[in-house]
Amino acid sequence: MYILQESLFSFEELQKLESKERLPIFFSSIDLRPYAKDLRNSSPRGADGHCRQGILRALLAAPLENIDTFTGLHHRLDVDLRFRYQCGLRLDRKAPSIATLSRVFSELTNKGLAKRLFEDLVAQCKQEGIIDGSHVAIDSAAINAYEKKQPKRKSELTGNANWGAKFDSFGNKAKWFGYKLHLAVDTASELPMALSVTPAHVNDGDMAPTLMEQVATGTKVKFFMLDAGYDQLKNYEAARNVKAQAIIPMNLRNEKEPPAGMTSSGTPCCSMGFAMTYWGADGDQLKFRCPHATGKVDCPLGMAACSSSNYGMVVKVDTKSDLRRYSSPHRDTKRWKELYNERTSVERCNSRLKRYLTADALHVWGIQKVTTHQYLNAIVLLASALAMARQSKRAAA
């Protein structure tokens, strides 16, 4: 738990350091040699003579230093010799050109190396106890495109940027042209565990099952927290398939009224119409007791009209009978609300990616390159958490 708590603020702590101190700490957490090896051309150092590992380090340092263009990165490498040296690039040569930086970025994209590095870092964070993974929050964020705006119908044919709309936390409808970043985040560390990028018009609920499956590979997830926009049966089923529970508020716009004898939150009603009292779960069975017997209401008929037992009438509900309506823990409970409140971790992760890094400062186009750009930003968060956790361990030793 000590490391988990440390990782909550490690990235902000790293940001407070000067660049000359921040970069060595950051690079200490990742070994880029296996990935740089796959970037090399047939020539040992590449046709342009620049070390591929150095360029890869520079591409990762860019979002950390809030550099969002290849032009800006080239300029920083050209004028800041310390920065170039810390990236592992030679000082007796000119800085890599804009074209070289762009070409290596394209190689990262074509060979899927950014995704591989991301997944390897997630695995390392799990091994070192930084990522727990038992509670996961899922949500999407709007990403504005660096592409020429087109009519929606024409954009759908390209599979790249498109028009999207979303309601903010105040109920205002926001429109944008670009993409959606879909994130699955460990709620304890607030670190990303899986991500995907889609055109902005893609429905959030369509992407959740894939993210759940990716996260659950090698991780025992207990709960997935999602907002009401994901209130679709397939998302409850996807969570159930990986032996987890989806915690999603019911979107009452999807139904006119609850089934007879049931509240909108899935609580059975007694014969007098009172909501019964939730009394715990036994496996897939939810147990509800007479509300008069539990002191929740003062029924004019007492318990005798419904049950001859002093315990009062009991109703059991099988959660498998309606995965969307029934949840364990039950929707009306304090525990359910506590779990749902953990969903804000994905919002904070999205905020870090946009506010401190360059997730929403695109200067590449096409969904594949945009995805690589998002992976590089997510890698910075993971590597930062690893670096600060290891530094804390060394300091405590």
**pLDDT (0 to 100) of residue 254:** 61
- As a whole number of angstroms, the distance between CA 221 and CA 134 comes to 4
pLDDT at 4: 36
Phi, psi of 308 (to 5 degrees): -85, -5
Which residues of the chain form CATH 3.30.420.10?
A: 121-250+342-368
Please state, for a pLDDT cut of 90, what percent of the chain lies above it.
57
pLDDT at res. 313: 87
Q: Phi and psi (nearest 5°) for 182?
A: -100, 125
Per CATH, domain 121-250+342-368 is 3.30.420.10: yes
By the 8 A CB rule, do 77 and 101 touch? no
pLDDT at site 20: 81
Cβ–Cβ < 8 Å for 346, 138:
yes
DSSP for 189-242, please give it: TTEEEEEEEEETTS-HHHHHHHHHHHHHTTS---EEE--GGG--HHHHHHHHHT
- Reported as a single tens digit per residue, the pLDDT across 297-307 is 888 887 777 87
Calculate ∠ Cα 85-87-89, nearest 5°.
Answer: 60
- How far, in Å, CA of 83 to CA of 72, rounded? 13
**pLDDT at position 288 over 80:** yes
Whether residue 335 is predicted with pLDDT greater than 80 in this model: the reply is yes
Amino acid at 292: H
Amino acid identity of residue 228, one-letter, is A
Strands 285-289 and 277-282: antiparallel
The average pLDDT across 46-67 equals 86
- Higher per-residue pLDDT: 383 or 45: 383
What does the alpha-carbon distance between residue 209 and residue 293 come to, in Å, rounded to a whole number? 41
- Beta strand 245-247 with 223-225 is parallel
Question: Which residue, 164, 178, 129, 94, is CA-closest to 374?
Answer: 178
End-to-end CA, the chain? 17
Q: Which long-range contacts (CB under 8 A, 24 or more apart) does 393-397 make?
A: 393/3
Q: State the Cα–Cα distance between residues 397 and 393, nearest whole angstrom.
A: 6
> pTM of this prediction?
0.89
Please give the pLDDT value at position 270: 87
Q: Quick one: average pLDDT of 85-113?
A: 93
More confident residue, 133 or 43: 133
User: Residue 44 corresponds to which tokens in the numbers above?
Assistant: 């040992």
Which ranges of the chain does DSSP label H, i.e. alpha helix?
2-16, 19-27, 33-39, 52-64, 70-79, 81-86, 98-110, 113-127, 152-158, 204-216, 233-241, 334-341, 344-355, 367-396
Mean pLDDT in the chain? Answer: 88
Higher pLDDT: 290 or 394? It is: 290
- Per-residue pLDDT of 308-329, as tens digits, reads 777 888 899 988 888 888 999 9
pLDDT at 1 over 80: no
- How far is the C-alpha of 228 from the C-alpha of 253, rounded, in Å? 10
**pLDDT of 3-52, one tens digit each?**
333 444 467 778 777 888 889 989 988 999 999 988 865 444 444 567 89
